[in-house]
Amino acid sequence: MMTIYCSAALLGAALVPPAYRPYHNARFGYRIEYPADLKSQPEAENGDGRRFVSADGQTVLTVYAGYQVLAGGLADYRKLARERWQEQHATLILDQKTSTGFALSGTVKGRIFYEKTVLKAATLTTFEWTYPAARKAAMDPIIRHTIQTLQPSVAGGN
C-alpha cells in the first residue's frame, strides 16, 4: 500500500489529509496550524510572524500581526492590501469584508493568493497563502483548515 504525505497534497495529489503543526506567536499571542511538511523559516526580526515554505519553494504561508495605527481602521488596511496586490498586476477574484476583518484572493503570474486579516483588540492578524494555480484543488481544504484554526489574539496575549 502506498502512503501519500502532505507534500503530495501540496503538489495536487491529495489523497490523505495532511498532518498539521501549531504555530504560536509569542509577541502578539496569535495561533494558527500549518501543514507539517512545510519548512518553518526563522521568526521575523521584530517577532511579528514567520513564513512556512514547501520543499520545492512554490507554496508559501506567511503569518504576521501588527498594531492598528491607521485612522480609517479596517477599510484602510483592506485598501492597502488591495493596492499591494494590484501593484503586482493581480486579478482579484474575492474581495470580502467580514465583521472582524477581510479576505482577498486572486491570481498573479500563474499563482493564486489568499489573504485573510482579522482585527481584535487593536491588533491585526494576517495570514497569506501563495501557490501555483495547478495546486488549487489540493490547497482549498488546507486553506479552509488555516481559516478555521486561526486564533487572533490581543497584542502580547498568550
Residue-level pLDDT at 11: 46
- Whether the per-residue pLDDT at 93 is higher than 90: the answer is yes
pTM: 0.85
Please say whether the beta carbons of 133 and 38 come within 8 A: no
| N-to-C CA span, the chain | 43
> Which has more confidence, 47 or 69?
47
Instruction: Indicate the pLDDT class of residue 4, thresholds 50, 70 and 90.
Output: very low
Mean pLDDT of the chain: 87
Tens digit of pLDDT for each residue in 26-35?
A: 999 999 999 9
Q: What is the DSSP letter of 2?
A: -
Average pLDDT over residues 34-38: 96
Secondary structure of residue 72 in the 3-state scheme: coil
> Which has more confidence, 124 or 7?
124
Residue-level pLDDT at 155: 57
> Which amino acid type is present at position 23?
Y
Secondary structure of residue 140 in the 3-state scheme: helix
Residue-level pLDDT at 127: 97
State how far the Cα of 12 lies from the Cα of 126, in Å rounded to an integer: 25
Contacts of 49 (CB under 8 A, 6+ apart): 25, 43, 62, 63, 64, 65
Average pLDDT over residues 83-91: 95
**Domains in the chain and their CATH numbers?**
6-149 (3.40.1000.10)
Residue-level pLDDT at 15: 56
C-alpha atoms less than 13 angstroms from C-alpha of 2 in its C-beta half-sphere: 5
Residue-level pLDDT at 73: 81
Tens digit of pLDDT for each residue in 126-152?
A: 999 999 999 999 999 999 999 999 999
Please say whether the beta carbons of 132 and 57 come within 8 A: no
Q: The C-alpha cell of 126 is what?
A: 494576517
Q: How many CB atoms within 10 Å of residue 14? A: 19
